[in-house]
Amino acid sequence: MQRFADSVKKTSSILCVGLDPPVVSNPRKRLSRILPSHFGSLTARHVKSIIHKTRPHAAAFKVNLAFYLARGAKGIDLLLRVRDWTGDTPLILDGKFNDIDNTLEGYATFAASAGATAVTGSPYMGEDFSPFIAKGIPVFVLGTTTNNPDVQGLQLVSDAGTLARHVALKVSDRPADYGLVVGHDAASMRELCPETWFLSPGLGAQGKKETEILRGLRPDGLGLLVNASRSIWTAMDPAAAAQKIATSLVHSRMG
């Protein structure tokens, strides 16, 4: 997680810019023909432009794998180009990975070949993410998410309370290897995980308030990446949109 700390200090920002190009699909066509070639080219140019314009304000970038897989081979090629375009800015590959050991090894190998700095992982198929850790790729484990499915709030017969709190406690003692996705209850999650890095979705199009998200900050002003995607992707001026969000987060941190 040190790369995220270094990037936050370098940019004076905790903004994570989501690079999620929307997909317009026609289910009656084959996957390879979902998007015309000229549209794919326009998408690549727009992604590259977003990266170039927002990089000064981005502590990290995040790609949701779904938007790239939907484009077939072109999408994988675009994903690899994204890694080149983002340069030394950390890149999170959002795939919610997990499975049995040999399958997880395949996911980890793919993440490494795609140049991922970190990935997201689902804890509900097990807690062993060692194939990623062995490759130097930390995992942001799903804790609480913005859509708040019922499973997160299940009460356990243990001191942990909810399932989400149980997951948080599991990752809290390895802050170099594991982060936590925190879509709500940031303050209580921070109490459980004083050193852990949080990846917090929901700002912008999903309607989460800065004040709620920023409760996940550590006392040293680090430990939190705030993701925004659609509000920047659809902006007339992505650079201005990213700067506005990053500046607002900084002012709120200071306040």
User: If one looks up domain 2-254 in CATH, what number appears?
Assistant: 3.20.20.70
d(CA 186, CA 181): 10
Q: Can you say how many angstroms the Cα of residue 82 is from the centroid of all Cα atoms in its chain? A: 15
d(CA 170, CA 175): 11
- Quote the pTM value: 0.89
Task: Please report which helix (H) or strand (E) contains residue 193, including its range.
Answer: none
Tokens describing residue 60: 């990290």
- Sole residue written with tokens 């097990």: 126
* In the predicted structure, residue 237 carries a pLDDT above the cut 50: yes
* In the predicted structure, residue 118 carries a pLDDT above the cut 90: yes
How long is the chain?
255
71-113 pLDDT, tens per residue?
888 899 999 999 999 999 999 999 999 988 899 999 999 999 9
Which of 96, 135, 208, 244 is catalytic? The answer is 96
CB-based burial of residue 228 (10 Å sphere; 0-12 exposed, 13-18 middle, 19+ buried)?
buried
CA distances from 17 to 42, 208, 232 (A): 19, 16, 8
Helices (H) and strands (E) in the chain, counts: 11, 8
* In the predicted structure, residue 31 carries a pLDDT above the cut 70: no
Catalytic residue status for 96? yes
Q: Is residue 59 within 8 Å of residue 16, measured between CB atoms?
A: yes
Spell out the alpha helix ranges (H) of the chain: 2-11, 37-54, 65-69, 72-86, 101-113, 130-134, 163-171, 186-192, 210-213, 230-233, 238-254
125-184 pLDDT, tens per residue?
878 899 999 999 999 999 887 766 555 555 544 555 778 888 899 899 999 999 999 988
- Sole residue written with tokens 């409760």: 215
* Confidence at 35, pLDDT banded by 50, 70, 90: very low
Tokens describing residue 126: 């097990």
204-229 pLDDT, tens per residue?
656 678 888 999 999 999 999 999 99
